[in-house]
Structure 1
Amino acid sequence: MPSWRTTLTAAGVSRPRLRDDYTHAARRVRRREPAPYLALRLLAAPPLVPALAAGLAFMNLVDDVAETGTPHQRAAGLAALSERVAAALESGDSPDPLLRAYAHAVDSRGLPPHWVTRFLEGAATAEAGFDGFAAEEDFQAYLDAYAWPGVLVFAGLQYQGGPGAEQAAGWRRFVDAAQRVDFLADLRGDLAEGRLCIPRARLDEHSVTRADLEQARDTPAVRALLTAECRRARTALDAAHGILGLAEPGLRPVVTTMTELMAHQLTAVERAGVTALRRDTGYGLAAPLRILVRAARRRPV
């Protein structure tokens, strides 16, 4: 793995202040999401790493603002952040080093700003005002408004000029699978925070109540519901396999790792059954390390 200084140079980041900005963004990702950070550093082509690290830091920043505080605080925080982001993208400058790095990444990689705008708008509506899903259609609307542009403000930076229609559609399929797996893995934590992320219509189909899930009742109906949700997630994950061929060669080892980690986590949820309602299902330590090592060995030198 090349040093961070060498990586910045490989990406054409030469100005001292800008190098510091990208370093600030990368450190934020390393603190908040060490596994994705390590995957980027170990597996992605060095010229892509700084921009992608800044993109991931930006995505996390928006997520944090959208999920913190009262509804009023979330709305106010996102409105203020949107103004700062718009100013940074327009001028290329900001008092915030993270936004300076991200604005440079968007400009240098040619990511269409409408993905950033859509993500911020979705954060203010679909995420900050989240009240669950009545049916599958509402889940799909959430993906379109928030999760899909959210992944493209980060992953879209791999493409010079931004993702084309086929590439964007591939990431839409990917995020459908990723969000389903994430919701299942975080069932316990989400319920504890008052978030029910399984569409209410599907609870009704299985004669399951919200209280059944909150109290982790081990009943045939609850088990059937969780099995059906895992099956949906598995189908979505199978449909997302084509994303590897749509990724830039320099990011394919990372995409492979992300997909394998999702599959591992979904398998853990499937095995957990009703236990997934009693504790969240993480990656663990051994499996991510094993997947990373295997991916690093496969990576072209």
Structure 2
Amino acid sequence: MPSWRTTPTAADINGAGLRADYTAAARRVLRREQAPYLALRLLAAPPLVPYLAAGLAFMNLVDDTAETGTPEQRAEGLRALTARVEEALDSGRSGDPVLRAYAHAVTVRGLPAHWVSDFLAGAATAEADFTGFGTEQDFEAYLDAYAWPGVVVFTGLQYRGGPDPEAAAGWRRFVAAAQRVDFLADLAGDLAAGRLCIPRERLAEHGVTRAELERGQDGPAVRALLADQCGRARAALTAAADVVQLADPGLRAVGRMMTELMAHQLTAVERAGAGALRKDVGYGLLAPLRILARARRTRTA
């Protein structure tokens, strides 16, 4: 893997201060999410890496603020962060190197500002006090308000001028699949934290109660519910397959790895069955390495 020092140069990012800001953003990603960081460094075209690292650092910063503390603390934290982001986007100035790098990336890459403001608004209205969904419509509204803008503030930086309508719609399909898989893989942890990410109307259709899920109870109704949710996730993955071709050529290997990892994790959830209620389902160790190696071979072929 080439030294990080060469990466800002490939992206034509000059000036010691600005390069230090992008380095700080990349380090934040590395501390929080090593796998996505390595995927970017190893698979993405070098001129895209600093911008995408800044975008991922910003997305994580908003997520962390929306999920830390009491509801009141989350709301206040998001109000303060929104003001800081607006200042950074308007002036390029901020006391936070992540925000300075992100504001520069948004300006240079021409990402429409509405994606940023939509994401911040969605963090306050859809994520900060999130406990679950009543209906499928609630899930779709959550995607539109928070998850979709959240992925575009990051991935949208691959496109100069931001994604066109076709690419934006492709990333909407991608995030729908990603959320369905993630919610299933994290069922146990979410239930323990007081969140239920399967719409309550689906529980009612299968005659399953939340208490049964919280107890990790197995049985025909629970298995049918989980199979239904896995089927919906599998269909969403199929619908999102075209995101690889909609990506910039320099990011297609990353997109391919991300979709393969999701498919692998969903298969693990399907195999776990009701066990997913008792323990979160991860990627494992060897499969991500195999998928990364395969994506890297495809990129260099």
TM-score under structure 2 length normalisation: 0.99
Q: Report how far residue 53 of structure 1 moved.
A: 0.3
Q: Equivalent residue for 1:2?
A: 2
Match of 2:300 in 1: 300
Q: Which amino acid aligns with 2:262?
A: M
Q: Distance in 2 between matches of 1:298 and 1:234?
A: 24
**2:219 & 2:62 partners in 1: Cα distance?**
38
2:75 aligned with 1:75: yes
After TM superposition, where is structure 1 displaced by more than 6 Å over at least 4 residues in a row?
none
State the 1:2 CA deviation: 2.2
What is the CA deviation profile of residues 246-300 of structure 1, one whole-angstrom value per residue up to 9, with x for unaligned ones? Answer: 1000000000000000000000000000000010001111010111111111113
- Letter aligned with residue 136 of structure 2: E
Q: Using the alignment, how far apart are the partners of 2:28 and 2:287 within structure 1?
A: 24
Write the letter of the residue equivalent to 1:122: G
- Taking the aligned partners of 2:111 and 2:271, their CA distance within structure 1 comes to 40
Q: What per-residue deviation string (whole Å, max 9, x for no partner) do you get for residues 203-231 of structure 1?
A: 00000000010000011100100000000
Partner amino acid for 1:285?
L
Query: What is the alpha-carbon distance in structure 1 between the residues aligned to residue 8 and residue 205 of structure 2?
Result: 53
Hey, what's the Cα distance between the residues in 2 that align with 1:61 and 1:84? 12
Query: Matches of residues 56-75 of structure 1 in structure 2 within 5 Å?
Result: 56-75=56-75
Point out where structure 1 has 5 or more consecutive residues left out of the alignment: none
Whole-angstrom distance in 2 between the partners of 1:195 and 1:10: 43
The alignment status of 1:27 with 2:30, answered yes or no, reads no
Determine the C-alpha separation between the residues in 2 that align with 1:75 and 1:232.
32
Alpha-carbon displacement from aligned partner over 1:173-216 (angstroms, at most 9, x marks no partner): 00000000000000000000000000000000000000010000
Residue of structure 1 in register with 2:191 after alignment:
191
1:56-104 CA-partner distances (Å, limit 9, x unpaired): 0000000000011111000000000000000000001101000000000
1:119 corresponds to: 119
Residue in structure 2 matched with residue 262 of structure 1 by the alignment: 262
Q: Distance in 1 between matches of 2:299 and 2:6?
A: 19
Query: Map of 1:164-203 to 2, 5 A cutoff?
Result: 164-203=164-203
**CA distance in 2: counterparts of 1:129 and 1:279, whole angstroms:** 24
Letter of the 1:184 partner, please give it.
L
Please, what TM-score do these two structures have when normalized by structure 1?
A: 0.99
- CA distances 1:6-51 after superposition (whole Å, capped 9, x unpaired): 1110001111011111001101101110000000000000000000
Amino acid at match of 1:103: A
Figure out how many residues of one structure are paired with residues of the other and give that number.
301
* One-letter amino acid of the structure 2 residue matched with residue 204 of structure 1: A
1:131 CA drift (Å): 3.0
- Which residue is 1:238 aligned to? 238
Map of 2:206 onto structure 1: 206
Query: What's the counterpart of residue 219 of structure 1?
Result: 219
Amino acid at match of 1:64: D
In 2, Cα distance between equivalents of 1:271 and 1:58: 35
Give the % identical residues.
74
Find the aligned partners of 2:97 and 2:244 in 1 and give their Cα distance: 32
2:81 and 2:124 map into 1 onto residues whose CA distance is 10
Supply the distance in 2 between the matched residues of 1:292 and 1:31 (Cα, whole angstroms).
19
For 2:132, what is the secondary structure of its paired residue?
Answer: coil
Alignment correspondent of 2:12: 12
Match of 1:98 in 2: 98
2-structure distance, mates of 1:174, 1:124: 23
Q: Which amino acid aligns with 2:168?
A: A
Q: CA deviation at 1:170?
A: 0.4
Partner of 2:253: 253
Following the alignment from structure 2 to structure 1, what is the Cα–Cα distance between the partners of residues 10 and 132?
44
SS at match of 1:299: helix
1:139 is aligned to 139
Match of 2:50 in 1: 50
Q: Secondary structure at the match of 1:4?
A: coil
CA apart distance, 1:113:
0.6
Query: Structure 1: how far apart are the matches of 2:29 and 2:211?
Result: 36
SS of the counterpart of 1:8?
Answer: helix
Question: 1:243, 1:146 → 2: CA distance?
Answer: 19
Structure 1 residue 171: Cα displacement: 0.3
- Look up the match of 2:163: 163
**Hey, what's the Cα distance between the residues in 2 that align with 1:271 and 1:113?**
42
The one-letter amino acid of 2:202's match is R
